[in-house]
Amino acid sequence: MTTLRAPDLTLTSLTVGANLYCNPVAPGDFPDPFVLEHEGVYYAYATNYKGVDLPVRTSTDLVNWEFRGNAMGTLPKWARRGFTWAPDIMKVAGGFMLYYTARHRKSGLQVIGAAFSKSPLGPFEDTCAEPLISQIPLGGAIDAHAFEDADGKRYLYWKNDGNALRQKTWLWVQRLSDNGRQLLGAPKKLLVNDQPWERHLIEAPFVLRRDGKYHLFYSAAHYGDSTYGVGHAIADAPTGPFVKTDGPILRSTRDVAGPGGQGLLTDALGQTWMYYHAWTPGKIGYERKGERSMRIDPLSWEGDRPVVLRPSATPKFSPATSMEFAAD
């Protein structure tokens, strides 16, 4: 991937079209978004909402989204409905693997399951008798993220939900089988909440390989208020060790509160974009009838450091069409 300078969002900055967009691109509650590209269509999935276990929307431009319903099939017997969070999708032979968080009936904690579908619209079915990852003594496990490296090896990242037990929270990684159904080897700790701005947790890992380096983006602090933000760490290998960048790279402003639950993609002109959810100030938190809506903003690079100018709330130039996911 070409190293990019800070985005110049003037009239000449994008030569493919002159369309504008304004956040949020997917209004309404659509937290913890994950975007998948398949055959020229973009599929956005989110945490459960109003009885829909796995909301899915589609788009051809990343700006205009159509709600397509529930992509989840029947939940497995070990899971209780109403608590399916933070989906992540990986293409595999013959279809797609979904990694999701759900409430474990026996323990009452959140754990990670895996489901398969031949179509990105589902239905995704989890036929396993037990969760893929539990970590019950550590508070459970949430926020799975699947990553395929340039050599074809696959990895799964996640967070142990230690804050559920008032413990530290760690981000973990473990090798995945080629079909995405089994974990290989032993899990490895990567990062812990040890910076003042991160407060009581870090979560929502997302990994990007760029110029031979591995960039781990994560969210931290409390999702329900303006302390929530996006952090970054860098490593020479997908299993670390990762070194954190100082402070959050995306934080609240006067117009946007609590950005997080992030992912990355790259458009046809090589511009990196971050998609994420955030509250609108004045309606921060569900108790105030707030909504964590989906948003996108350009991300640039200063050497190996990612830079997002700020979460935007004013018109910007849209991503170039014919999008493709960020890759080395």
The whole-model pTM stands at 0.93
Statement: residue 303 has pLDDT above 70: yes
pLDDT at 18: 54
Q: What is the CATH number of the domain that holds 249?
A: 2.115.10.20
pLDDT at 264: 98
Cα–Cα distance, 42 to 26 (Å, whole number)? 13
Q: What is the pLDDT of residues 57-99, one digit of tens each?
A: 999 999 999 999 999 999 999 999 999 999 999 999 999 999 9
pLDDT mean over 235-251: 98
Which residues partner with 117 through β-bridges? 96
Asked if the structure places residue 1 within a domain, the reply is: no
Asked if the structure places residue 324 within a domain, the reply is: no
Q: Which domain holds residue 78?
A: 20-317
Q: Residue 207: which of 322, 325, 60 has the closest Cα?
A: 325
Cα–Cα distance, 45 to 30 (Å, whole number)? 8
Q: 3-class DSSP state for residue 162?
A: helix
Report yes or no: 71 and 89 within 8 Å, Cβ to Cβ: no
Percent of the chain with pLDDT over 70: 92
Q: Give Cα separations from 120 to 88, 95, 135, 289 (angstroms).
A: 11, 8, 28, 31
Statement: residue 291 has pLDDT above 80: yes
Is the peptide bond preceding residue 24 cis, with omega within 30 degrees of 0?
A: yes
Q: Residue 311: which of 327, 292, 324 has the closest Cα?
A: 292
Q: What is the pLDDT of residues 116-168, one digit of tens each?
A: 999 999 999 999 999 999 999 999 999 999 999 999 999 999 999 999 999 99
**10 or 71: which leads in pLDDT:** 71
Asked if the structure places residue 282 within a domain, the reply is: yes
Asked if the structure places residue 8 within a domain, the reply is: no
Statement: residue 328 has pLDDT above 60: no
Question: What is the average pLDDT score of the chain?
Answer: 93
Q: How many CA atoms lie within 13 A of 253 on its CB side?
A: 11
Asked if the structure places residue 257 within a domain, the reply is: yes
- Interacting residues of 140 by C-beta distance below 8 A, sequence separation 6+: 104, 107, 109, 110, 111, 134, 160, 161, 164
pLDDT at 321: 66
pLDDT at 219: 99
| Confidence band for 255, pLDDT divided at 50, 70 and 90 | very high
Statement: residue 41 has pLDDT above 80: yes
At position 252, the amino acid (one-letter code) is S
Please give the positions annotated as active site.
32, 203
Q: Residue 18: which of 328, 320, 322 has the closest Cα?
A: 320
pLDDT at 10: 30
pLDDT at 128: 98
- The backbone region for 322, taken as left when phi is positive above 0, alpha when psi lies in -120 to 50, beta otherwise, is left
Q: Give the CA radius of gyration of the chain.
A: 18
Asked if the structure places residue 250 within a domain, the reply is: yes
Asked if the structure places residue 118 within a domain, the reply is: yes
Burial 153-180, CB ≥16 within 10 A → b, else e: ebbbbbbbbbbbeeebbbbbbbbbeeeb
| Confidence band for 268, pLDDT divided at 50, 70 and 90 | confident
Q: Is residue 113 within a helix (H) or strand (E), and if so which, with residue range?
A: strand 110-117
Number of structural domains, the chain?
A: 1
In degrees, rounded to 5, the angle at the alpha carbon of residue 32 between the alpha carbons of residues 266 and 236 is 50
Q: 3-class DSSP state for residue 163?
A: helix
| Confidence band for 309, pLDDT divided at 50, 70 and 90 | confident
Report yes or no: 32 and 46 within 8 Å, Cβ to Cβ: yes
Statement: residue 13 has pLDDT above 50: no
Asked if the structure places residue 306 within a domain, the reply is: yes
Statement: residue 4 has pLDDT above 90: no
Encoded tokens for 138:
């550590």
140 backbone dihedrals φ, ψ, rounded to 5°: 100, -175
